[in-house]
């Protein structure tokens, strides 16, 4: 089988607690919670900037539309990760912060952030090649997220 295999197999990762009620594993559960184009970014942003007003968040997470931001915030709130505070003032004032649960999840995102930062050169290069190839190979890759606007 794989005994005559040229690749050495490095140390394995911790098992991901298989056969859970509705999920493949804990990783699967987490991924479903953070599924959505902006959720991880929102979580991480909220973790950094603490409770923040809607408008400010919107301006910070550039490229996001009202509909999307509101929608993702609502889902995050429904999932108990984000806490919405409505001050019931006359020009509406609302702000969003993380719950302890949300904070824990945001912290779990740190290694991904680190990995991305450390390998940004690799990733950038690969993505450039990917897009260049997309022009010619229709079936090679069905185009990325299309989100290329530089929000920085």
Which spans of this chain sit near DNA (rule: CB under 7 A)?
Answer: 35-38, 53-55, 58, 63-68, 70, 72-74, 84, 86, 90-95, 139, 142-147, 149-151
Give the alpha-carbon dihedral of 95, 51, 47, 27, to 10 degrees.
Answer: -40
At 97, phi and psi to the nearest 5?
-140, 175
3-state secondary structure of 134: helix
Contact 46, 98 (CB under 8 A): yes
Q: Which of a second copy, DNA, none is residue 137 near (CB under 5 to 8 Å by kind)?
A: none
**Residue 135 found at the interface with a second copy (CB under 8 A):** no
Residues 52-71 that bind a second copy (CB under 8 A): 52-53, 62, 71
Residues 69-108 that bind a second copy (CB under 8 A): 71, 74-75, 78-80, 83, 85-86, 88-90, 92, 95, 97, 101, 103-108
**Residue 132 found at the interface with a second copy (CB under 8 A):** no
At 85, phi and psi to the nearest 5?
-120, 120
Residue from the set 15, 135, 136, 138 that interacts with a second copy by CB under 8 A: 15
Which tokens sit at 140? Answer: 């090679």
Q: Which of DNA, a second copy, none is residue 68 near (CB under 5 to 8 Å by kind)?
A: DNA
Least distance CB 67 / a second copy (angstroms): 9
Least distance CB 138 / a second copy (angstroms): 13
Which tokens sit at 65? Answer: 């539309």
Spatial separation of the C-alpha atoms in residues 49 and 41, rounded to whole Å: 12
End-to-end, the C-alpha distance of the chain in Å comes to: 49
């Amino acid at each position: 089988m794989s005994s005559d295999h040229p690749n050495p197999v490095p140390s394995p990762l911790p098992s991901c607690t298989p056969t859970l009620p509705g999920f493949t594993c804990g990783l699967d559960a987490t991924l479903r919670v953070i599924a959505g184009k902006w959720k991880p970014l929102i979580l991480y942003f909220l973790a950094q900037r603490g409770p923040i007003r809607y408008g400010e968040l919107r301006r910070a997470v550039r490229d996001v539309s009202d509909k999307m931001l509101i929608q993702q915030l609502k889902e995050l709130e429904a999932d108990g990760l984000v806490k919405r505070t409505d001050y019931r003032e006359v020009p509406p004032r609302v702000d969003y912060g993380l719950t302890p649960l949300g904070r824990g999840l945001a912290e779990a995102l740190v290694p991904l952030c680190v990995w991305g930062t450390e390998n940004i050169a690799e990733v950038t290069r690969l993505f450039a090649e990917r897009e260049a190839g997309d022009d010619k190979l229709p079936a090679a890759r069905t185009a990325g997220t299309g989100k290329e606007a530089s929000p920085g």
